Amino acid sequence: MAVPKRKTTPSKRGMRRGHDAISTTAYIEDKDSGELRRPHHVDLKSGMYRGKQILTPKDD
């Protein structure tokens, strides 16, 4: 069984766990409608993605 030879210091442990933090979700403002949407996702309000009509627009 593998056993560590030395105790991992809090500094080294913290450096290893530095990438584990949950980041906030990114939102960008759509160029055409001005609505906030996720990058690389279809704008559900207009149904557009990269200048092409993908979905039929939703009516509220």
Q: What is the pLDDT of residue 21?
A: 83
Q: Band of the pLDDT at 34, cuts 50, 70, 90?
A: confident
**Reduced to 3 states, what is the DSSP secondary structure of residue 1?**
coil
pTM beyond 0.85: the answer is no
Q: Rounded mean pLDDT of 27-51?
A: 87
Residue 8 and residue 57: Cα distance in Å, rounded?
Answer: 55
**Helix ranges restricted to H, the chain:** 10-16
C-alpha atoms less than 13 angstroms from C-alpha of 19 in its C-beta half-sphere? 1
Residue 46 and residue 14: Cα distance in Å, rounded?
Answer: 44
Q: Band of the pLDDT at 53, cuts 50, 70, 90?
A: very high
How many H helices and E strands in the chain?
1, 4
Q: What is the pLDDT of residue 4?
A: 92
The mean pLDDT value of the chain amounts to 87
